[in-house]
Amino acid sequence: MRWWRTGSRAAGARAGQPLPRALLLSGYSAPHLPSPLPPVDDLDDAPLIELLRITGGLPADLQARPAWRDRCLPALRDDLRLCTGYRDAGDPPLSCPVHVLGADADPLVGERDLHAWERHTTRLREVHIMPGDHFYLEHTPEHLFGVLRPLLRRYAVSESVSESAG
């Protein structure tokens, strides 16, 4: 969400502000949709851990690793606070290419939620649906990298062509 806001602010700022070359988004609903998670501000650690566990966001042996849990839980809470607390500011659509990635068995973000990014860009390039759940990267990284490599190569090549022409 942070990179979406950065691009939106650049698009809404004074003329001549550079936009990102492209924006790649993963596993996140379009900003105008409600968060699939409840607010976490008032959750004690135990309910927060349970929420993360049922969504697949924590390793099963977390309870056996209290030092790790105590270090990571504040960062996870802050991340969720950013995600659940965001409200669409109604910024104009981005004009840079946007690529959206998600998973076919994600219990939090469905394919319709991913396609809803169309409202926030004039250049939705594609929505890639990977096999897996919300944390598909952990289960099928080769599939994700098979999508990312040509995308990143495309933008790297177009950047080097732009630099050599200038």
In tens, the pLDDT along 20-50 reads 888 899 999 998 999 888 888 888 988 988 8
Looking at the fold, whether 62 and 134 belong to one and the same domain comes out as no
The answer to whether residues 124 and 104 belong to one domain is: yes
Give the per-residue pLDDT at 2. 52
The pairs formed by 65-74 with CB atoms below 8 angstroms and a separation of 24 or more are 73/45, 73/48, 73/49
User: Interhelix angle for 66-85 vs 45-54, to 10°?
Assistant: 80
Structure tokens at 131: 């096999």
- Containing domain of residue 126, as a range? 2-34+93-165
Q: How does residue 128 score in pLDDT terms, banded at 50, 70 and 90?
A: very high
Q: Are residues 109 and 149 in the same domain?
A: yes
Asked if 135 and 57 sit in the same domain, the reply is no
CATH code at position 150: 3.40.50.1820
Task: Tell me how many domains the chain contains.
Answer: 2
16 within some domain: yes
Specify whether 97 is located in the same domain as 80. no
Tokens representing 139 are 């289960």
pTM of the predicted protein model? 0.79
Residues 75 and 108 in one domain: no
Alpha-helical regions (H) of 14-55:
45-54
Q: Is the pLDDT of residue 129 over 80?
A: yes
Convert the pLDDT of each residue in 46-93 to its tens digit.
Answer: 898 888 888 877 777 777 888 988 888 899 899 888 888 878 888 888
Asked whether residue 60 falls in the same domain as residue 131, the answer is no
Mean pLDDT is lowest, of 17-21, 28-32, 96-100, for 17-21
pLDDT category at 111 given cuts 50, 70, 90 is: very high
119 within a domain of the structure (yes/no)? yes
CB-based contact 102:127 (threshold 8 Å): yes
Residue with tokens 């965001």: 86
Do 157 and 100 sit in the same domain of this protein? Answer: yes
Question: CB-based contacts of 30: which residues, under 8 Å, 6+ apart?
Answer: 113, 114, 116, 117, 118, 119, 120
In this prediction, residue 145 carries a pLDDT of: 94
User: Residue 95 contacts by C-beta under 8 Å, 6 or more apart in sequence?
Assistant: 11, 19, 121, 122, 123
Q: Are residues 29 and 60 in the same domain?
A: no
The answer to whether residue 77 sits within a structural domain is yes
The answer to whether residue 40 is domain-embedded is no
Q: Which of 82, 97, 4 shows the shortest CA–CA distance to 37?
A: 82
Same-domain check for residues 57 and 28: no
